[in-house]
């Protein structure tokens, strides 16, 4: 590959990494092509990206991006997984895959601008998806309003029942 092609590739990677909310660097020595292809497919279905680059290209593209703190002194084969959306889904896919394939190892990661360890990545993967968390928050916000509305409706309903009962028992006098 020529120098200008490498520079263009580094610039393209830098642009993609600058938009990423989560960047995870992994090693995959010893994985078979079919296993790697299956991982690529899972990551792509989640809306994230998984690519293999030379370490020098990653180091050249990382400055000024969220990957900058972890893209230093890389050794061995390195793959880059990143997403602009929900970091939890990517973490779930990678940790589940690593459990099934011991050759797939976690090197470093950045989630929402914070460098994470493998233990923290495992904790992130145990979180519910973003859509579930948003639904829970909306429920909690809406719940007090529903309770107030039902209490207010109950008062009016009880008043109507009392008046109706009074009419049945002819407790009200007609005014003329």
Which pLDDT tens digits describe the chain residue by residue (176 residues)?
A: 688 888 888 888 888 888 888 888 888 887 888 888 888 898 898 889 998 888 888 888 888 888 888 888 788 888 888 888 878 888 888 888 888 888 888 888 888 888 887 778 777 887 777 778 788 888 888 788 778 778 778 878 888 888 888 888 877 776 65
For residues 61 and 13, the answer to whether their CB atoms sit within 8 Å is: yes
Residues 87 and 161 both lie in one domain: no
For the beta sheet containing 114-116, the strands, ordered from the edge strand earlier in sequence to the opposite edge, are 49-53, 78-83, 22-27, 105-111, 114-116
- 81 to 57, 64, 77: CA distances (angstroms): 15, 18, 13
Residues 155 and 87 both lie in one domain: no
Structural domain range at position 70? 3-127
DSSP per-residue string spanning 19-53: H-SEEEEEE-TT--HHHHHHHHHHHHHTT-EEEEE
Q: Are strands 22-27 and 78-83 parallel, antiparallel or unpaired?
A: antiparallel
Coil vs helix vs strand at 111: strand
CATH of the domain at 105: 3.30.70.1730
Residues 160 and 74 both lie in one domain: no
The structural domain count of the chain equals: 2
Residues 142 and 57 both lie in one domain: no
Residues 113 and 80 both lie in one domain: yes
Residues 91 and 32 both lie in one domain: yes
User: How does DSSP classify residue 148?
Assistant: H
- Is the pTM higher than 0.75? The answer reads no
User: Which letter, b or e, does each residue of 45-73 get, where b requires 16 or more Cβ atoms within 10 Å of its Cβ?
Assistant: ebebbbeebebebbbbbbeebbbbebbee
């Amino acid at each position: 590959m020529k120098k200008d092609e490498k520079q263009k590739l580094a610039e393209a990677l830098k642009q993609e990494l600058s938009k990423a909310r989560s960047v995870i660097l992994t090693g995959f020595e010893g994985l078979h092509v079919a296993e790697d292809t299956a991982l690529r497919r899972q990551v792509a279905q989640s809306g994230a990206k998984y690519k293999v680059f030379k370490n020098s290209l990653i180091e050249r593209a990382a400055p000024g991006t969220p990957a900058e703190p972890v893209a230093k002194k890389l050794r061995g084969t390195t793959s880059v997984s990143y997403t602009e959306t929900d970091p939890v889904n990517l973490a779930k896919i990678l940790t589940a895959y690593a459990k099934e394939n011991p050759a797939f190892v976690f090197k470093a990661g950045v989630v929402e601008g914070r460098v994470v360890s493998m233990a923290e990545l495992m904790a992130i993967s145990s979180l519910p998806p973003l859509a579930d968390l948003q639904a829970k928050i909306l429920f909690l916000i809406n719940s007090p309003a529903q309770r107030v509305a039902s209490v207010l409706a109950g008062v009016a309903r009880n008043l109507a029942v009392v008046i109706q009962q009074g009419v049945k028992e002819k407790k009200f006098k007609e005014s003329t």
